[in-house]
Structure 1
Amino acid sequence: MKNLRTHGKSTIVWLLMGLLILGLGGFGVTSFSGGSTEIGAVGETRVTAEEYARALRNQMNAYARQTGQQLDMAQAQAIGLPQAVQAQLFTGAALEEQARRIGVSVGDDRVRQSIVEAEAFRGPNGNFDRTAYAEVLRRERLSEAEFERNIRGDEARLLMQRAVTGGVVPPEAMVRQTAGWLLETRDLAWRELTEDQLPAPVAEPDQATLEAWHAANADRFTAPETRRISYVWLTPEMLADEVDLDEAALRAVYEDNIAEYRQPDRRIVSRLVFPDQAAAEAAKASIDAGDQPFEAFVLQRGLSLEDVDLGEVTQADLGAAGEAVFALDQPGVVGPVQTDLGPALFSMNAILEPVEIGFEEARESLRAEAAVDRAARMIEDRSSDYEDLLAGGATLEQMAEETPMQLGQIDWSADTPAAERSIAGYQAFRDEAARVTESDFPQLFALDDGGVFALRLDEVVPPALRPFEEVRDEVAADWRRAEVRRQLLALAEEHEVQMTAAPLPTPAPAAPGDVASRVATPTSTPDRTAEAEAEDRADPAAPDADAAEADWTTEAGLRRDGWIEGVPPELVQQAFAMQPSDEVEVVDAGDRVFLLRLDAVHGADLGDEEAVQVIEAVRSRLGDSLQSDVFDYYARAAQLQGGLELNQAAISAINAQAQ
């Protein structure tokens, strides 16, 4: 029903739930199309220009809140927002016209209740605030009488809507059939064909074959659009060698980060709190006896190991438990120990030795870190000078001559790897490289490590087929993959034909009440002659029923939404597209080829607990869908009966003012 209400011209939905959002200033709509203040009508029920402008504005604001960006009218029209708003308004008008014709209305008490309960009109104490009510209506350019009239109309429309859809329920047979379809399981078997099963190795292609493949599959060997970009950049690492750091500065950095160089004994510990002392003692006894590990009690409490992990802790961090935990010379469990949260067991998982790194030992790493930090501050201080040079018309080449910035050039595309120690490894550069145009003047941009760069687009190289000589190895590899796949599919077809044609034993009749329909599987011939075995050795490519059956992998009780590790989803999808039969099907999953066999189809047991939950979910979903359809048909009929009129000039005028 909640979804269905969006079809109506619901002032309650649009107004009460959205009035206090920023940006609710009006479009200033006063008159349209020579003074008309209506965009249309259904019978005697009019849709005013103010209603349309307000509804359109609120929908655009709602979109902006959801996406984080403002929506202009061109974008709104591109996604069909004005048309959706109009459909809602005229659907609401059709319902209101039907209510007027048959005399459906609501009393003053219901109108008052709707207003008092509206969130938009509540004050700081959570109760209805008359001042807030008046202020909201003032912003929306509505008088109290007009707003209350709209509320009365909304309530009448909702009564009509409930009357139309209230008795619509899905047929029970449809619900159970849908649930049965969802919960059906299947037993299947598959066999993957690989290159080593081909009757002969794949021959090496000649030059003509590869050149023809290169031409026929040009899209695979076409270089993307490339942007030839010149740039200058400067990173802290580039300036690090120029930074002069004295002994006092290094010692200051060492002392500021002393916690990294001097650390006491630590332990990696987990803590599990119990509701009472008896439960904690029982758990400790079970752990000591080897009946259950500490982790089992964590899971029994509905927790994960991450929930009880305290990480690296010192003895002081553990309080009363510190002495017992640090007395362990290997991982173990101590307790129960009384804590602020209750009695707890502590699991000591690892011992971390103390860290003691002296200043002399840390000097080199300190110097590198401090130099980079100081260089980043130097770049920040000089950035304004670099910006002034670029603003004054300095070229990138001049920047490289007059500043420490380094000049470079790159042929960049979206496929360019983000390599470390390369400017292409910075996301800021990649963003600007994709955006820059040939008419843009270079400007300074920041890198995330404290560096800066500027760039210039020199040339855009359109997509082009890469020369055969350049990509010969790629062409050969691509041709070989395709040829292996082609031969595997042909081999699979041979297996499929032979296994389908082979006589199969008649399956035993299912027991009464059995929910599974079984499919007989190919079986090997028990007595094979020496001549047949000799023929197989002479032709190793010939499908062998015995060997094939041994190579099948089986999966029982697979659900429609299930998956099999290491197997492409196409195989599962095909298994549920097959009909119970004796046929074996070929599954082409890109570079992999399978033979697939459906062994059994198990109907769902609609009486178990999971099935009951699925049935209820299906009933709710189908009910919502049917109610939506019925309401949609009723609304269309109501519009036809009432006579729908549109004032396109007024609609266009509002859209234009909303730009």
Structure 2
Amino acid sequence: MLSAMRSGKNRYFFYALLGLLALGLIGFGSGNIGGGSARSIGKVGEQSVSINTYANTLNNAVQTMAQRFGRTLSPAEIEGLGLQRNVLSAVLSSAALDNEAKRLGISVGDTAVATTIRQTPSYQGLDGSFDKEAYEFALERSNVSAGENETAIREGLARAMLERAVTSGLTGAQTQAMNLISFANETRDFDWIEIDETNLVQPIPAPTDEQLNAFYTENPDRYTTPVAREITYAWLSPTMVEDQVEIPADELRNAYDLQTERYNRPERRAIDRLVFADNDAAIDARNRLDSGSITFDALITERGLEPGDVDLGELTKDDVSTGAADGLFDQDELGVFGPFDSDLGPAIYRINAILQAEITSFEDAEEELHAEMVGDSAARLVSGLLSDIDERLAAGATLEELTTETQMELGQISFTSESEDSIAAYDEFRDAAEQANVDDFPEVLELSDGGFFALRLNEIKDPTLRPLADVKDMVITDWIAAETAKALQTRGEAIIAEIASGKSIADFDVVVETKTGANRGARDEQLPITLISDLFELDLNAATLAATDDTVVIAQLKNITAVDGETGETAILLDTVNTELRSQVSADILDLFSQALQQDAGVTLNQVVINSVDSQIISGQ
């Protein structure tokens, strides 16, 4: 398929960068970025790529990616994402098209440039018309003159004409679109059964000594101990000192009184609010809602708003304006209410949820509060001992001495990758145990619950095959499981052979389940993950099987529901897929065309300037 289909995620990102070129002269004051008197990072043929264009596009790309991640990206992350490389490729692609447009004599007049300027949102005032001050401010921010900006717009319009000429006449492949839709939306109906060891003709007999020896020899990894790190440790956790903590009754009561929001939550409502300019507009909207001619959600959309714009969250009666409080909190049902006066004007409200008051008495909360306060006090007590323990270790105390002189407890563990009990449940201990060396000096390390520990690695034991006598019961269990799986597989294949010869899946004295309308992406917790996809490779009434840990599932295909290309929904979907395919083909053709132009015209780059721009933008994040 096209390269666009082979590398979809990278393709979308690359062409998103081309879109950012439209912002290349807006939103980033580059000043003397790049240093010296250089004004471009290079050129394609006779078309220069200005420092501003590259810098602004890179900055926009970095900021866009930071918004997706929800945080500032480090230089290493920006490098790992390949932002500089992709931005450079995008601006060179644009420059190649500009160079070709000039070679062919493609250009636009002043009227087209003026129209574009007037229609650019960044140059418009609050009323949507062209604002000279906004235009001058945008140019000042981007550190370009009006002439430079108009030249960039003229080049962009000419470039767009060339792009349309290259991609015009492309049509979507109806057959390809239908194949894609059919692949995704065809469904299968099937019957299935699950067989286990109770469905075997004969039970699995006990293994002989020869069979056990052979299985043990063929599967040594199952019975080999992992690498074991023999560790001595001393530790102290808050739970070890909780019996030393006493919480006075008056402190418990004070803690309860200070947490009224936790233990005495008033009644709340989850509320949406739609504000109107005047009462007449609010009443008109309410009448339309009552008549059923519009829904509340449609009313939000009609106003040009998003659901988040009207969502007030969970509010108490005190959180709502006086004019609406009684009208909303006297309601026992969900729905639309009002209009009521709000702080912003007449408004219609929607109650999405009613959350009853939650009152917890001191007596009911006392046990929970006591446990929390004891835990906090114990953690502070342990924390106060940390520096003393650290000093003792620094003075040469052994772990054994620490446990006789302090409240720390001594322990031994044969630590492996499978250890998870007691202190090995802590990630901090596990990390320290895996990194320790035999000659390391013990140091105090903190635990996530406020405790701390110190450890000493005594030796490392290599993996060892355990004697058969020690693991005989395990070997027997494993052998029986393996033989059962083989027998179930054999039985399942025999059932499929009988189905192929004319029998139905209902003929085998096993409970039959039916599943309908399953597409290729369907998932069912009762079925092996590969079973449904395998059914799409079968002819009608054929069967397939898939094994689980201790069963085999057999499915027989009963019905194939193809996609009806004549339905309205499919027609809409076909149009959408065709549009996407045309977009993908256009993008690929433009990409290939630009690469060919760059090869023909030649590309020269000033890597010193490029590195300088990269450094200044990325280090400034």
For normalisation by structure 2, the TM-score amounts to 0.67
For structure 1, which runs of at least 5 residues remain unmatched after alignment?
276-301, 312-318, 326-331, 503-521, 524-544
Query: Distance in 1 between the 2:254 and 2:56 partners?
Result: 63
Partner of 1:639: 598
Alignment equivalent of 2:570, drawn from 598, 601, 611: 611
Partner of 1:526: none
Query: Distance in 2 between the 1:439 and 1:483 partners?
Result: 48
Contact 1:42 1:94 in 2 (8 A): yes
Q: Would you say 1:241 and 2:243 are equivalent positions?
A: yes
Alignment equivalent of 2:95, drawn from 89, 93, 96: 93
Query: Distance in 1 between the 2:81 and 2:462 partners?
Result: 31
Partner of 1:450: 450
Q: Would you say 1:573 and 2:530 are equivalent positions?
A: no
Partner of 1:480: 480
Question: Residue 206 of structure 2 aligns to a residue in which SS?
Answer: coil
428-437 or 631-640, larger mean C-alpha shift: 428-437
Question: Residue 569 of structure 1 aligns to a residue in which SS?
Answer: coil
* Cα offset, 1:37, TM superposition: 9.4
1:499–1:656 distance in 2 versus 1, CA, 3 Å: same
* Cα offset, 1:549, TM superposition: 7.6
Contact 2:390 2:443 in 1 (8 A): yes
Q: Would you say 1:253 and 2:252 are equivalent positions?
A: yes
Alignment equivalent of 2:363, drawn from 357, 363, 371: 357
Alignment equivalent of 2:380, drawn from 377, 380, 393: 377
Contact 1:222 1:466 in 2 (8 A): yes
* Cα offset, 1:69, TM superposition: 7.0
Q: Would you say 1:560 and 2:563 are equivalent positions?
A: no
Question: Residue 563 of structure 2 aligns to a residue in which SS?
Answer: coil
Which letter does structure 2 place at the counterpart of 1:621?
E
Partner of 2:280: none
Partner of 1:295: none
Partner of 2:501: 501
Which letter does structure 1 place at the counterpart of 2:193?
R
Please give the per-residue CA displacement for 1:253-298, whole angstroms capped at 9, x wherever unaligned: 234325999x99999999999x9xxxxxxxxxxxxxxxxxxxxxxx
Question: Residue 583 of structure 2 aligns to a residue in which SS?
Answer: helix
Partner of 2:22: 12
1:107–1:348 distance in 2 versus 1, CA, 3 Å: closer
Query: Distance in 2 between the 1:58 and 1:376 partners?
Result: 47
Partner of 1:425: 425
* Cα offset, 1:492, TM superposition: 2.2
Please give the per-residue CA displacement for 1:75-115, whole angstroms capped at 9, x wherever unaligned: 76666555434433432232222222112345567667569
1:396–1:633 distance in 2 versus 1, CA, 3 Å: same
1:25–1:242 distance in 2 versus 1, CA, 3 Å: farther
1:396–1:145 distance in 2 versus 1, CA, 3 Å: farther
Query: Distance in 1 between the 2:251 and 2:270 partners?
Result: 38
Partner of 1:537: none
Alignment of 1:247-396 (within 5 A): 249-257=248-256, 357=363, 370-387=373-390, 396=399
Alignment of 1:28-67 (within 5 A): 41-46=43-48, 66-67=68-69
Query: Distance in 1 between the 2:47 and 2:381 partners?
Result: 71
Partner of 2:419: 416
1:434–1:97 distance in 2 versus 1, CA, 3 Å: farther
* Cα offset, 1:193, TM superposition: 2.6
Contact 1:64 1:71 in 2 (8 A): no
* Cα offset, 1:205, TM superposition: 2.3
* Cα offset, 1:453, TM superposition: 3.6
Partner of 2:282: none
Query: Distance in 1 between the 2:245 and 2:362 partners?
Result: 28
Query: Distance in 1 between the 2:263 and 2:85 partners?
Result: 69
Query: Distance in 1 between the 2:250 and 2:497 partners?
Result: 81
107-116 or 205-214, larger mean C-alpha shift: 107-116
Query: Distance in 1 between the 2:581 and 2:119 partners?
Result: 35
Please give the per-residue CA displacement for 1:118-169, whole angstroms capped at 9, x wherever unaligned: 769999x9973746753553xxxx7776666555544543443344335433
Query: Distance in 2 between the 1:392 and 1:122 partners?
Result: 73
Question: Residue 201 of structure 1 aligns to a residue in which SS?
Answer: coil
Query: Distance in 1 between the 2:219 and 2:12 partners?
Result: 52
Alignment equivalent of 1:593, drawn from 544, 552, 557: 552
Q: Would you say 1:179 and 2:181 are equivalent positions?
A: yes
Contact 1:37 1:650 in 2 (8 A): no
Please give the per-residue CA displacement for 1:561-583, whole angstroms capped at 9, x wherever unaligned: 33445222322111112234x53
Which letter does structure 1 place at the counterpart of 2:380?
R
Partner of 2:218: 216
Query: Distance in 2 between the 1:630 and 1:590 partners?
Result: 50
Question: Residue 128 of structure 1 aligns to a residue in which SS?
Answer: helix
Which letter does structure 2 place at the counterpart of 1:176?
M
Contact 1:40 1:647 in 2 (8 A): yes
Query: Distance in 1 between the 2:539 and 2:266 partners?
Result: 60
Query: Distance in 2 between the 1:354 and 1:172 partners?
Result: 65
* Cα offset, 1:463, TM superposition: 5.8
Which letter does structure 2 place at the counterpart of 1:253?
L
Question: Residue 508 of structure 2 aligns to a residue in which SS?
Answer: helix
Question: Residue 134 of structure 2 aligns to a residue in which SS?
Answer: coil
1:369–1:347 distance in 2 versus 1, CA, 3 Å: closer
204-213 or 340-349, larger mean C-alpha shift: 340-349
* Cα offset, 1:201, TM superposition: 0.9
Contact 1:117 1:128 in 2 (8 A): no
Question: Residue 578 of structure 1 aligns to a residue in which SS?
Answer: coil
Query: Distance in 2 between the 1:220 and 1:555 partners?
Result: 38
Root-mean-square deviation (CA, aligned residues, Å) is 5.8
* Cα offset, 1:473, TM superposition: 3.8
1:79–1:457 distance in 2 versus 1, CA, 3 Å: farther
Query: Distance in 1 between the 2:517 and 2:394 partners?
Result: 70
Contact 2:14 2:86 in 1 (8 A): no
Contact 1:438 1:457 in 2 (8 A): yes
Which letter does structure 1 place at the counterpart of 2:251?
A
Contact 1:438 1:456 in 2 (8 A): yes
Partner of 2:492: 492
The percent identity for this pair of structures is: 28
1:7–1:578 distance in 2 versus 1, CA, 3 Å: farther
62-71 or 649-658, larger mean C-alpha shift: 649-658
Contact 1:11 1:150 in 2 (8 A): no
Query: Distance in 1 between the 2:55 and 2:459 partners?
Result: 47
Please give the per-residue CA displacement for 1:33-86, whole angstroms capped at 9, x wherever unaligned: xxx99876543335578876776677567656655575456x766665554344
Which letter does structure 2 place at the counterpart of 1:499?
I
1:28–1:431 distance in 2 versus 1, CA, 3 Å: farther
The total of aligned residue pairs comes to 552
Query: Distance in 1 between the 2:398 and 2:124 partners?
Result: 60
Partner of 1:103: 105
* Cα offset, 1:382, TM superposition: 4.1
